[in-house]
Chains A and B, each alone.
Chain A
């Protein structure tokens, strides 16, 4: 009688479920918290900044090239209230964290299904 072995697709199913548990435990709460914080910050930003006017000015500045758009955005940022500046900086920071976590989740997914050569 041949030695019973576990089929490859069963192994992949196990690893998929393990990955899912890891994602639910480690990534989802963090990402949800970050998204919630970002939503609150965006609301504060929208309450304090007339976004459509800023966009109109961006469109007007875009006629003179990307450099002018950048200069305009920088000037708008510098002249904004401190609270708005803080909201923008924190929002960018949280966005970067969200992107980092999504990339981490994707890389972990790829690594989980790739043969690990050695445990260091």
Chain B
């Protein structure tokens, strides 16, 4: 494929002619699959997530406006991650509603592996909450708003009364501090 146009332009063109969307699907499908598999660890679930993500990108694409520092790619990945986590939450609920079967009677090795993953993710969530709690309040709050509550740069700037540049700088510092505290905790 000879792709010369930026992704934003291709998305815009696809609103007139949906065949252009094929370019975006071809460009991101495998990377999205890898990312989704990293969250749900099941091929079928990851396929569903990727499918939903592309449809959401097309459906809400008209809301995407290119801002300084916000690329189509990062916007698309944010949708992918949100969809993955929502899907993961649904999976978790369906596991909770499933009657427990004794592994001695039912050979359900795969489900056991998934349950281990869920426990690990719950642990990770607690660890993240702990680390954010140890951070200075203004930095912790920014991480919370951006990564856990999925607020956009624009919304965070309004809430915190900051410029985009300051926000990006603080997020960078917050991430660096988070990484450091995380390493200390581990």
Does chain A have a CB within 8 A of B114?
no
**Which of A11, A115, A116 has most chain B Cβ within 10 Å?**
A116
Q: Count the A-B residue pairs with Cβ separation under 8 angstroms: how many?
A: 84
Closest chain B CB from A119 CB (angstroms)? 5
**A114 and B1 in contact, given A4-B37, A11-B29, A14-B51 (Cβ under 8 angstroms):** no
- Is A111 in contact with B19, judged by CB distance below 8 angstroms? yes
Cβ-defined contact, B17 with A117, below 8 A: no
A22 (CB) vs chain B CBs: closest residue: B18
Q: Which of A4, A10, A108, A118 is in CB contact (< 8 Å) with B18?
A: A108
CB B115 to nearest CB in A, in angstroms, measures 22
Tally of B interface residues using CB under 8 Å: 34
Q: Which residues of B contact A95 (CB under 8 A)?
A: none
Identity of the chain A residue whose Cβ is nearest the Cβ of B54 in the assembled complex: A14
B30 within 8 A of A: yes
Q: Please give, as numbers and ranges, the residues of chain B lying within 8 Å of A5 by CB-CB distance.
A: 29-30, 33
Query: Contacts of A111 on B, CB cut-off 8 Å?
Result: 17, 19
Q: Mark A1-30, 1 if CB is under 8 A from B, else 0.
A: 001111100110111011101100010000
Q: Report Cα–Cα, A114/B19, bound state, in Å.
A: 8
Residue B116 interfacial (CB < 8 Å) = no
Residues 101-120 of chain A, each 1 if its beta carbon lies under 8 Å from chain B, else 0: 00000001001101111110
Question: In terms of DSSP, what is the predominant structure of the interface of chain A?
Answer: helix
Q: Determine the distance from Cα of A102 to Cα of B59 in the docked complex, in whole angstroms.
A: 22
Q: Chain A: interface residue count, which band?
A: 20 to 34
From B20-28, B75-83, B90-98, B158-166, give the one contacting chain A: B20-28
Mark each residue of chain B from 11 to 55: 1 if its CB lies under 8 Å from any CB of chain A, else 0: 001111111111101100110111001000001001100110011
CB of B183 closer than 8 Å to a CB of A: no
Chain A positions 15-62 with a Cβ under 8 Å from a chain B Cβ: 15, 17-19, 21-22, 26
Subset of 23 A-B contacts with CB under 8 Å: A3-B34, A4-B33, A5-B30, A6-B29, A7-B47, A10-B51, A11-B25, A14-B54, A18-B21, A18-B55, A19-B18, A21-B58, A21-B59, A22-B15, A22-B58, A26-B16, A112-B19, A114-B19, A118-B2, A119-B2, A119-B10, A119-B13, A119-B20
